[in-house]
């Protein structure tokens, strides 16, 4: 049964979608069967895996509204064991349309439960907010991976996200845990970056893997490819491969 991992941070520009796409691809390269669910109306995870949102008829918006299943929306990618449930721009309207539904917080969980046995990992790329769509992801997830850029305001955002996770644990998903914080776009020459990293480590589990600033990592989405297929030797690609190994190692230790 798949481990369901929500990749969340309400602050934009922290490498959330970059992490979702490239961790999913790295796990697939490690012979895991992976589904990436794009829940962001910007559709960047969808286009980053080679699918144009304008060409997609049914995506995660339709899944949340109960019009289609995850299985019916899932598309293949350039990696045989990596699949994507794509987003479309109309996902932006989903929060309003779901607001009055009694099961508004559990729609995604129900959809995932139907396909969970088909994958080793299900990753959810959350929108940069703590609204109803992100709540759906947290209710469905076993754990949360938090990408974080090492800057001062990131600490405030991490505190708010932690509060949301605690409320979800108390009311809707008691098994939810923080898998860890992933330091992204890290510049070891920056005193502030090192200070913020030390502060986060005092309060949270921080992955040993640190994702550096990397040009190839930034270029890959414009080619519709994860960085492992764009430049496997780049520091960005090696960083996400290391993160995948760390996750797989943690899973085997837990077993």
pLDDT, averaged across the chain = 93
Q: What is the pLDDT of residue 254?
A: 45
- What is the strand order of the sheet 143-149 is part of? 75-76, 82-85, 34-38, 121-125, 3-7, 143-149, 177-186, 206-212
- The string over 31-68, giving b where at least 16 C-beta atoms fall within 10 Å of a residue's C-beta and e elsewhere, is ebbbbbbbbbbbbbbbbbbbbebeebeebbbbbbeeeb
Q: What is the pLDDT of residue 216?
A: 96
Mean pLDDT in residue range 119-146: 96
Residues contacting 53, CB < 8 A, separation 6+? 43, 46, 47, 59, 86, 87, 88, 89
Q: How far out from the chain centre does Cα 210 lie?
A: 16
- pLDDT reading at 253 higher than 60: no
Mean pLDDT in residue range 66-80: 97
Dihedrals φ, ψ of 76, to 5°? -80, 170
Fold of 3-254: Rossmann fold (3.40.50)
Q: What is the DSSP string of 220-236?
A: GGGGTS-HHHH-TTSHH
Q: 56 or 250: whose pLDDT is higher?
A: 56
- pLDDT reading at 255 higher than 80: no
Joined together, the tokens standing for residue 182 give 């992933």
Percent over 90 (pLDDT), the chain = 81
Q: What is the pLDDT of residue 35?
A: 98
Q: What is the pLDDT of residue 251?
A: 59
Residue owning tokens 């969808």: 46
Q: 215 or 12: whose pLDDT is higher?
A: 215
Q: 152 or 52: whose pLDDT is higher?
A: 52
Residue 102 CB-density burial (10 A; 0-12 exposed, 13-18 middle, 19+ buried): exposed
Question: pTM of the entire structure?
Answer: 0.95
Asked whether 233 and 83 are in contact (CB, 8 A), the reply is no
- pLDDT reading at 31 higher than 70: yes
The least confident of 2-6, 76-80, 191-195, 236-240 is 191-195
Mean pLDDT in residue range 71-95: 96
pLDDT interval class at 115 (50, 70, 90):
very high
Within 13 Å and on the Cβ side, how many CA atoms surround 220?
A: 26
Within 13 Å and on the Cβ side, how many CA atoms surround 77?
A: 29
Asked whether 61 and 94 are in contact (CB, 8 A), the reply is yes
Task: Name the pairing type of β-strands 82-85 and 75-76.
Answer: antiparallel
Residues contacting 21, CB < 8 A, separation 6+? 36, 45, 48, 49, 125, 221, 226
């Amino acid at each position: 049964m798949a481990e369901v991992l929500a990749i969340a941070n309400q602050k934009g520009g922290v490498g959330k979608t970059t992490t979702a796409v490239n961790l999913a691809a790295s796990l697939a390269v490690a012979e895991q069967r992976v589904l990436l669910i794009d829940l962001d109306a910007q559709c960047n995870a969808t286009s980053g895996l080679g699918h144009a949102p304008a060409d997609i008829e049914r995506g995660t918006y339709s899944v949340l509204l109960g019009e289609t299943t995850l299985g019916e929306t899932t598309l293949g990618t350039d990696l045989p064991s990596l699949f994507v449930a794509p987003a479309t721009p109309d996902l932006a309207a989903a929060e309003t349309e779901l607001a009055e539904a009694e099961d508004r917080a559990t729609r995604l969980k129900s959809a995932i439960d139907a396909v969970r046995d088909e994958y080793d990992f299900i990753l959810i790329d959350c929108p940069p907010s703590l609204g109803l769509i992100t709540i759906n992801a947290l209710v469905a997830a076993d754990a949360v991976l938090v990408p974080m850029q090492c800057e001062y305001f990131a600490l405030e955002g991490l505190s708010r996200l932690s509060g949301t996770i605690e409320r979800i644990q108390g009311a809707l998903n008691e098994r939810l845990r923080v898998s860890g914080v992933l330091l992204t776009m890290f510049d070891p020459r920056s005193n502030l970056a090192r200070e913020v990293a030390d502060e986060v480590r005092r309060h949270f589990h921080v992955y040993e893997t640190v994702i550096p600033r990397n040009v190839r990592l930034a270029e890959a989405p414009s080619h519709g490819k994860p960085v492992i297929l764009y430049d496997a030797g780049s520091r960005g690609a090696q960083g996400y491969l290391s993160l995948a190994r760390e996750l797989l190692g943690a899973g085997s230790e837990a077993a």
